[in-house]
Amino acid sequence: MALSNIEKHYNKHPEDLRLQRRHGIVEFETTMHHLRRFLKSDYFLLDIGAGTGRYTSALMAEGYRVKAVELVRRNIEVFLKREPTADVVQGDARDMPFIPTATADVTLLLGPLYHLIGDEEKLKALNEAKRVTKPGGLIFVAYLMNEYSILSYCFDEDRIVGLLERGAVDKDFHIQAQADELYDYVRIDDINRLDESAGLDRVTIFSPDGASDYMRTRLNRMSDETFARFIEYQKVISERSDLIGAGSHVVDVVRVPE
């Protein structure tokens, strides 16, 4: 069977290493900070699109019951090598018939929507996450943000003129990803529209990384003490509405109606 674009990407770009670099540590620690706000000791969690299981492993270490679902076989192999007792299965976030309805108290969807192009595909994953989450339960949904990509990959790499000319970026500077591309990028308005379409109610929305992706080299030069303060800073400002859309990711925390 031919490998998908997602599988080819993660075979070449190990996700396990990304979350161990300083900009990835900011993202991980801030996300864990917000997860801890909502989790209770008896909760059962689903980690959909678990990657190499960094969040599953951390949550297992804190005593939570977690089942992970991951599309990419290589990621699962890395995950199980580090965490042999993990409950992880291969599957697609858009269709998980092997998971019963209303199973999880909290569902993590911290990666799949990066790679699903357009509202229709994203809604398949959102609706499936909604199905497997208990009424009243929470879903943590991560997105890639449009402005980070526009600044970092379109302007900084001097590609913006050509992208505008061929319609890959529209006149409002919103990236128009095509069906065969690896990533899709959104703005807060897009996330609001998806929540409404899926019938999900927002509890909060936060930026897990803020400026850290723009500051990779600067983060690497910081002393350990200064870097620890930067992580605390990001936790403090992560829900500020005037800053959320400027980072490379956001996490939308939504509740399944009862």
Statement: residue 6 has pLDDT above 90 = no
Structure tokens at 22: 């300083």
- Dump pLDDT digits (tens) for 121-139: 999 999 999 999 999 999 9
Contact assessment for residue 35 and residue 27, using Cβ atoms and an 8 Å cutoff: no
Give the per-residue pLDDT at 9.
59
User: Cα angle vertex 5, ends 112, 35, to 5°?
Assistant: 20
Q: Is the pLDDT reported for residue 3 higher than 60?
A: no
pTM value?
A: 0.92
* 10 pLDDT more than 70: no
**Which residues are paired to 205 by β-bridges?**
252
In this predicted structure, the answer to whether residue 19 has a pLDDT above a threshold of 80 is no
Asked, for residue 256, whether it belongs to a domain, the answer is: no
Tell me whether residue 19 is in a domain.
yes
Q: Which domain holds residue 50?
A: 5-248
Give pLDDT tens digits for 171-203. 999 999 998 899 999 999 999 999 999 999 999
Assign 2 a pLDDT band (cuts: 50, 70, 90). very low
Question: What is the spatial distance between Cα 164 and Cα 9, in angstroms, rounded to a whole number?
Answer: 25
254 belongs to a structural domain: no
Q: Are 72 and 34 in contact (CB under 8 A)?
A: no
Domain-located, residue 258: no
Mean pLDDT on 61-78: 95
- pLDDT > 90 fraction of the chain, expressed in percent and rounded: 91
Say what the pLDDT of residue 4 is: 63
**Per-residue confidence band for 15, with pLDDT thresholds at 50, 70 and 90:** low
pLDDT band at 144 (very low <50, low <70, confident <90, very high): very high
What tokens were used for 246?
């400027």
* φ, ψ dihedrals at 152, nearest 5°: -80, -35
Contact 87, 113 (CB under 8 A): no
Kindly state the greatest CA–CA separation across the chain: 54
Mean of per-residue pLDDT scores for the chain: 93
Domain assignment of residue 257, yes or no: no
Q: Taking 80 as the threshold, does the pLDDT of residue 237 lie above it?
A: yes
Q: Which of 168, 52, 51 is nearest to 115 (CA)?
A: 51
Nearest CA among 27, 35, 232, 253 for reference residue 148: 27
CATH number of the domain where residue 169 is located: 3.40.50.150
Q: H-type helices in 62-205, by residue range? A: 73-82, 112-115, 118-132, 146-149, 160-165, 188-198
The tokens for 122 are 């994203």
Number of folded domains that form the chain: 1
Domain annotation covers residue 255: no
Half-sphere exposure of residue 102, counting CA atoms within 13 Å on the CB side?
A: 5
pLDDT grade for 20, boundaries at 50, 70 and 90 = confident
Do the Cβ atoms of 139 and 201 come closer than 8 Å?
no
